[in-house]
Structure 1
């Protein structure tokens, strides 16, 4: 994520908090909420946690959540919302410096409305780092945004094919959880979303 994008979220933190919290997490994540119910709660990592809406939603379902948000004001608002129920860290992709990975890795990693902010040349390194942080049986959820960019917070084209290719290179399998693009919960008619789940491919024992 570029510094101008982070600065924009920092400077307009209150507006984005109001916007994010105007919709319920279970509605935003309806495409993969059924999958979540099948997972045993463990360690969760919410990258680009914004207002803390999703982190708190996961915590309420029994997950031990670490929320990553590089925009200072937005992170502070999120911390106020979640209190000590969620651990907050200032870090950003692609390297996630200052984020300590637990020895067993994270059982769930969520990137909601984040991938389009990554410069395409950063994405391979970002995926490699995420793979390192994911537990052997973990699930990684990535939402892809399709629609016009916002010049105040630069966005770059995304595709399912690109994500699948990056995942394949590091032994991750992908599953598209929304077969058709889903509507935008904020009623922006020119924006659509797709949700994918990435998991480590368990190699057979010889």
Structure 2
């Protein structure tokens, strides 16, 4: 499938060389300093949806977690494999809301990352995606979602998504919020244009 037919990926293929450099310039610890204590400590099954440059997948892999990374943009996925050539990361060409390839694995995950992806989905896609993600989350598993707010870069497809909407949608699937915080972007260019983020963590309970 061509990236052009996957809504939400607009602009990423053309900008892949720049994005690979930009995203890798920030460490995992810098990006997730406030929430890292909520991430798995013992060996877990991790799913990174919209894995981009592979930085996050590689961080979990280095800590001996079982990592699956799903990224629909070929240029980013192939760049990630070059940057993080680990034989133990399972790379998939897949995307929200369907996650067909991931669902075909018939596995459950202890921790699911959705970083800088959710705002690319329209309302109907977000509703479908939350159901698909919850079905992949093990009992007691956790879900991380970040929401980007502010000006939309030229050529990108993004929607205004609030923490309140996301929490309400998650609650329909028995996902309990553990963390909700607003923060400024740590990328200088984004910070200068007024971009800010919401970081959310949920836990699947019975």
Deviation readout 1:149-203 (Å, 9 max, x if unpaired): 123111100111101111111111112242xx2121212221111211111123x
* Post-superposition CA distance 1:101-125 (Å, at most 9, x none): 6555000100010111111221110
SS in 1 for 2:139: strand
Q: 1:28-107 alignment to 2 at 5 Å?
A: 28-36=31-39, 39-83=41-85, 84-100=87-103, 103=106, 105-107=108-110
In structure 2, distance between residues paired with 1:171 and 1:56: 30
Q: Cα offset for 1:5?
A: 4.0
Q: 1:167 to 1:4 in 2, by over 3 A?
A: closer
The 1:24–1:3 alpha-carbon spacing in structure 2 relative to 1, beyond 3 Å, is same
For 1:22 and 1:182, the matched residues in 2 are separated by: 19
Distance in 2 between residues matched to 1:43 and 1:160, nearest whole Å? 26
The 1:93/1:11 distance shift into structure 2, 3 A limit, reads same
Q: What is aligned with 1:200?
A: 204
Deviates more, 1:149-158 or 1:93-102: 93-102
Deviation at 1:41, TM superposition (A): 2.2
Q: TM-score, normalised by structure 2?
A: 0.90
Q: Secondary structure of 2:101's partner?
A: coil
CA distance in 2, matches of 1:142, 1:169: 16
Query: 1:67 offset after TM fit, Å?
Result: 0.5
TM-score by length of 1: 0.90
Unaligned stretches of 5+ in structure 2? none
Contact 1:4 1:153 in 2 (8 A): no
What is the aligned residue count? 199
Aligned residues: CA RMSD = 1.8
- Return structure 1 stretches of 4+ with deviation > 6 angstroms: none
Per-residue deviation at 1:12? 1.8
Correspondence for 1:144? 147
Contact 1:7–1:71 (CA under 8 A) maintained in structure 2: no
1:128-165 per-position Cα deviation (integer Å, ceiling 9, x unaligned): 00000001121100011111112311110011110111
Which consecutive unaligned segments of at least 5 residues does structure 1 have? Answer: none
Partner-residue secondary structure (3-state), 1:99: helix
